[in-house]
Every structure is written in C-alpha cells, then in structure tokens.
C-alpha cells in the first residue's frame, strides 16, 4: 500500500512540474542585448568581411553565456564556410556533420539551417555526391514542413548536380520543371526562387555549350526584375528574403539585372557576335556589381572569349592571391587553363607550357578524386527515392491513423514503466552521487595544492614570448591567469591576452590547443574555484558562488557544473553542509 501511495504522489509531482514548467522558465535569467557586445547578431554583422573577429565574438558570447554551444558551433561553421581555404571547409563540414548527429537538429528550423550550410560547403568544394545528398535531404525536410517553394528552390540545385554527374538532359528537365512551376506566380519568394533556377539552367547551358538557349533565359530574368520594379507592392508576400528597405530593393534589382547582362554578354560572345556581347558587357561593367571582385570574376570568362586577356589576368592575380596555397580546386585549374591560352596568344610559349603542365597535373588529381567518390551511387539513390516518393507518402498516410490510435496506449504504458524505473534507480543514483562528491572533495584538495604550487612560480618579467614554443607559451599564460585570477572576471576574453601580451589569436589558439581551447580552460578554472568556495563556505548561495567564480549567468554555471562533475551545484553544496 505504501509503494502505491508513493507512486501516486510521484505521478502528481510529475504533472505539477510539467504544468509549472513555463513559469519556471519565465523566472530564468535571459541574456539581454545590452548586457555585452558579444552576441550572435554582432558576429553575423561582420562575419563576411572580418571572420577572425566574428569567431572571437562567438567564443566570447559562449563564455559570458549569451550563446549555447550548439548554436555557437553552427555560427562558427557559417563563418568558416565563407572562407577560401579548403582547410576551413573541412572544419566547417566536421562541425555541421556533428550537429546533424545531435539533438540540436530535432528542431526543423535548426536542421534546415545546418543543411543549408552543408549544401554551401559541398557546393563550394565541388563535392557533387555530398552536395546531392544534403540537397535531397533538404527537399524532403521542406516538403515535410509544407514549404513547397523552398523545396523547388533546392530542386533547382539538384537539377544542376545531376547534369554535373553526367545526366545532362535529366538535369535540364528538372530545372525546366522548377521554372515552369514558379514562373507565372507574382510573389516575391516564388520570383526569387525562379530567378535562382533560371541562373542554374543558364550556368548549365553555358557548360554544355548552348549559348543560343541562354539568351531567352537571361532576358526572362530581366523581364521579371522589370515587372518587380513596376509592381513592387503586388509582389509583397512577407517573405524573409524580401528587401526590407528601398535601398536594398534597388540593390537587389540592379544585382540580378547586372548578372543577366553578363549572361547575355557571354552567350553572344560564344556565338561570335562580339559587338552585341560588348554592348551587354559594358552595361554589366557600369553596374555596381560589375565593379566588385565577384562581378569581375564573373566577367572573366567573357573577357577570355573576347580576347581581353589583360583584364582577365588582372582579376586572376587577385583571385590567386586570395586562394593562397589552396590550389587543388576546379576554379584554380580553370584559371591555369585560361592563362595558358592567353600566354600562347601573346607568343609566350614557354610560359604557356608551364601553365599547361600545372593544369594537367591538377586536373588529373581532381578527376581521380571525383571517380573515387560515390557520386553515381547518390544519383541512383536520388532517382529511386524520387520514384518511391508518392507511394511512400500514401503508405505513410494510411499508417498515420493507426499510429495515433496506438500512441496513447503506448505512452501510458511507457510512462508508468518509466516512473517505476525512476523509483528503483533513485537510490542507486543517490549512492553514485555521494561517491562522486567524495571524489570531488579529494580532487579539490589536490587541485588546491597544485594551485598553490603554480602560484609560487612567478613568471619571468620581460620574457620574449616569440621565443617560446606552444607548450611554453601555455605554461606562461596559464600561470598568469591563475596567479592573477583573471578567470574570475566575467568579461575575460581572448582579446585581453591579445592586447596585454601583443600576440596574435592564432598563437593563443595553438597554445591552448592542449586543453581543447581557451574557453574550456577558463571554464574549468572557474568550476574548480566554485568547488573550493562551496567546500570552504557551504552556506554561500549558489548565485553568489557563480558570480564570485566569474560566471555571468546562473543557468550556464549550473549546466557546466553538472556536465563536468555529474552532480548539480546545489547537491554538492548540500553534501558539504552535511559534512560540516
């Protein structure tokens, strides 16, 4: 009878906790934009022009509690995915793949954001099989969420990829289907998606050498932009992609008009109509986009066809400087190919020979990597999935009602079993927590002795930091951080070390790589200090302990403490009070 009573009371307690969850959440501290400059918005405002600073802001936002680690990881991947270095692509790819295996993507919006990053990364790397894989997964997700326009936008990507994999006609057919589904709709989101699909088809036709088919598509882009200019209000659909201001509206229209003019210039140049090509090219070069680095790179192929090699080589020099040592990619091989032809046209045959040799070497390596991939496997998988899609949807709909009928009963049974299991495990968990607490007490004693030993070592004054290797630099900086208790400031950041010791961010990162990074090192010092405070003064409130230890956010303190020691700060303090 007593056990049944306990079970009923426990069920009531669970229901009461769920009903009060919203109230508890309202009482938690939420970081405000005015608390610190280290926010996600601050990082996103500069990441495309100052990625190093953006990464620093993200790290600092995690330290001060403005960002949780999963969101911070996604933002880091976004910054790294805009780099030109293959190494940064690898790092961004690893971050995104880890997020796809985490609870972070249980939220559909988060999953779509990570998929967008994976698509961007694999597209820029020229990894067609992975590009197809993530694009296919995004199409499925969009349709599950009822976002057909976004699904069609991604279908355009898939059409281009299929052509890259050797299925040109199937890819063109898919692009034509997307354009047909979007073309006549007078909504901004559909218009924008249609323009993207038109651009994908133009790029594909250019690769296939069909310039005469490019012209009507490029002219259609101009027609759609002109109609948007004249009937702007009719296109307003509340889409987040809509230009929010008059200035951005003008910039949007001018950007796509300029690109369409460049497409027309290249098509007419390929057809041998040089005068018409130069007319459209002049319109492009007079535009704001035509004066940018990206715009000049877009025009470089047209300059090549028209024989304006000096313009082409000048922008290639800038592009090569930006690529640095990252030369194992299709963009660099194309530049080598065009440089070789330009050198031959100028009569520099020896220079041309060097370029041809480098081009052939890189091309062979890239071709081998492509054949070693699983591109055709993914293409076949996508085709099969497309054929099964309608059948699977019908089967899923039929099973849906059966699942709903059984889910209630299963949920009740599982809930009862879960509650019973919790009751059984409760004693075992208490025993485990007591053992963990005892181990923490022993560890605190050891850490206290170790800290006293470290504090007794005064770092040498006027030490030449450039002469230290990474391990020595870590010892030097970590001793100062401990001795001066810099970690107790909630505003501590990597920038403080940069400003004080005049060393760059890369050196600090390398020095603290032995302990998984500076943020983790500072967090561990703060947690050790918090444990010592609760051991020496167990009556001190958890909030005061968190503040005194350098945490600006009580929620972050509790989460980090539990993650490191497997018990909550409240439980640990209660054990210390019991021992006193």
Predicted structure pTM score: 0.53
- Annotate 233-265 with three-state secondary structure: HHHCCCCCCCCCCHHHHHHHHHHHHHHHHHHHH
E runs forming strands in 59-205: none
Question: What's the pLDDT at 279?
Answer: 95
pLDDT at 370: 52
Dihedral, 136, 137, 138, 142 alpha carbons, nearest 10: 100
Nearest one of 481, 494, 473 to 455, comparing CA atoms: 481
- Sign for the CA dihedral angle at 437, 440, 442, 444 comes to negative
| Residue partners of 243: CB distance under 8 A and separation at least 6 | 249, 251, 252
Q: Give residue 378's pLDDT.
A: 45
Evaluate whether residue 478 is within a structural domain.
yes
421 is a domain residue: yes
Task: Indicate the DSSP class of residue 15.
Answer: H
DSSP 47: T
CA angle 221, 222, 224 (to 5 degrees): 65
> Total domain count for the chain?
1
500-509: long-range pairs with CB below 8 Å, 24+: 501/465, 501/477, 502/465, 503/465, 503/473, 505/52, 505/56, 507/470, 507/473, 508/477
Residue listed under structure tokens 């079993």: 417
532 within domain boundaries: yes
Residue 7 lies in a domain: yes
Do 104 and 70 contact (CB within 8 A), yes or no? yes
Task: Give the Cβ contact number of residue 112 at 10 Å.
Answer: 18
Q: What is the pLDDT along the chain (580 residues), one digit of tens a residue?
A: 445 544 444 444 444 443 444 434 443 434 454 455 688 888 888 877 788 888 888 888 888 888 889 898 999 888 888 765 555 778 888 999 999 999 999 999 999 999 999 998 888 877 888 999 999 999 999 999 999 999 999 999 899 899 888 899 999 999 999 999 998 888 999 999 999 999 999 999 998 999 999 999 999 999 999 999 999 999 988 888 899 999 999 999 999 999 999 999 999 999 999 999 999 999 999 999 988 988 888 988 898 888 888 888 888 778 777 766 666 656 666 777 777 777 776 777 777 677 777 777 777 776 665 555 444 434 444 454 555 555 556 666 777 777 877 877 887 778 787 787 777 776 666 666 667 676 777 777 666 666 666 555 555 556 788 888 988 988 898 899 988 888 988 888 889 888 888 889 899 888 888 878 899 999 999 999 999 999 989 889 999 999 999 998 899 999 999 998 899 999 999 988 887 6
Other CB atoms within 10 A of residue 324 CB: 9
Residue 396 in domain = yes
Is 446 within the bounds of a domain?
yes
Q: How distant, in Å, are the alpha carbons of 112, 133, 145, 190, 316 from that of 149?
A: 14, 19, 11, 6, 37
Contact status, residue 160 vs residue 208, Cβ threshold 8 Å? no
537 inside domain: yes
Query: For the purposes of burial, counting CB atoms within 10 Å of the CB of 32, is it exposed (0-12), middle (13-18) or buried (19 or more)?
Result: exposed
State the distance between the two ends of the chain, measured CA to CA, in whole angstroms.
38
The verdict on residue 292 lying in a domain is no
Element (H, E) at 507: helix 505-511
Residue 375 pLDDT: 44
Any idea what the CATH number is for the domain that residue 482 is in? 1.10.10.60
- Determine the structural domain holding residue 484 and report its residue range: 2-29+389-579
């Amino acid at each position: 009878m007593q056990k049944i009573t306990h079970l009923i009371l426990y069920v009531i307690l669970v229901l009461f906790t769920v009903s009060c969850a919203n109230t508890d959440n309202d009482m938690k501290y939420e970081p405000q934009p005015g608390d610190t400059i280290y926010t996600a918005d601050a990082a996103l405002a500069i990441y495309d022009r100052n990625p190093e600073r953006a990464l620093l802001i993200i790290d600092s936002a995690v330290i001060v509690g403005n960002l949780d680690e999963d969101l911070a990881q996604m933002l880091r991947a976004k910054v790294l995915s805009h780099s030109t270095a293959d190494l940064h692509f690898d790092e961004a790819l690893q971050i995104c793949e880890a997020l796809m295996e985490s609870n972070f993507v249980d939220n559909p919006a988060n999953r779509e954001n990570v998929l967008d990053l994976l698509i961007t990364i694999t597209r820029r790397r020229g990894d067609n099989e992975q590009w197809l894989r993530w694009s296919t997964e995004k199409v499925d997700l969009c349709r599950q969420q009822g976002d057909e326009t976004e699904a069609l936008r991604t279908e355009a990507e898939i059409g281009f990829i299929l052509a890259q994999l050797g299925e040109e006609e199937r890819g063109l057919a898919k692009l034509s289907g997307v354009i047909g589904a979007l073309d006549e709709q007078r909504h901004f989101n559909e218009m924008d998606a249609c323009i993207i699909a038109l651009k994908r088809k133009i790029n594909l036709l250019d690769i296939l050498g069909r310039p005469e088919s490019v012209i009507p598509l490029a002219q259609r882009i101009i027609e759609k932009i002109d109609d948007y200019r004249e009937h702007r209000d009719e296109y307003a659909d509340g889409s987040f992609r809509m230009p929010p201001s008059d200035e951005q509206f003008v910039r949007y229209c001018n950007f796509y008009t300029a690109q369409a003019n460049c497409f027309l210039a290249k098509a007419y140049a390929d057809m041998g109509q040089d005068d018409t090509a130069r007319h459209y090219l002049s319109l492009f070069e007079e535009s704001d986009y035509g004066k940018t680095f990206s715009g000049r790179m877009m025009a470089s192929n047209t300059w090549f066809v028209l024989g304006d090699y000096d313009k082409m080589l000048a922008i290639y020099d800038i592009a090569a400087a930006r690529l640095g040592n990252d030369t194992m990619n299709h963009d660099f091989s194309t530049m080598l190919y065009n440089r070789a032809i330009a050198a031959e046209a100028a009569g520099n045959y020896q220079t041309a020979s060097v370029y041809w040799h480098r081009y052939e070497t890189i091309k062979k390596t890239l071709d081998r990597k492509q054949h070693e991939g699983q591109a055709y496997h993914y293409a076949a998988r996508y085709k099969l999935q497309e054929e099964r899609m309608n059948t699977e949807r019908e089967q899923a709909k039929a099973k849906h009602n059966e699942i709903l009928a059984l889910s209630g009963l299963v949920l009740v049974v599982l809930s009862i079993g879960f509650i019973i299991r919790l009751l059984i495990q409760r004693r075992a968990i208490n025993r485990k927590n007591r053992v963990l607490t005892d181990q923490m007490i022993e560890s605190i004693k050891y850490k206290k002795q170790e800290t006293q030993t470290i504090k007794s070592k005064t770092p040498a004054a006027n030490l030449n930091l450039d002469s230290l290797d990474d391990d020595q630099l870590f010892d030097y900086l970590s001793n100062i951080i401990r001795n001066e208790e810099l970690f107790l400031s909630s505003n501590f950041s990597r920038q403080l070390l940069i400003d004080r010791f005049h060393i760059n961010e890369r050196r600090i990162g390398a020095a603290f790589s032995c302990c998984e990074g500076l943020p983790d090192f500072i967090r561990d010092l703060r947690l050790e200090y918090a444990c010592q405070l609760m051991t020496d003064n167990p009556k001190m409130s958890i909030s005061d302990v968190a503040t005194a230890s350098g945490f600006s956010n009580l929620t972050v303190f509790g989460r980090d403490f539990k993650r490191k020691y497997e018990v909550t700060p409240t439980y640990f303090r209660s054990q210390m009070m019991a021992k006193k």
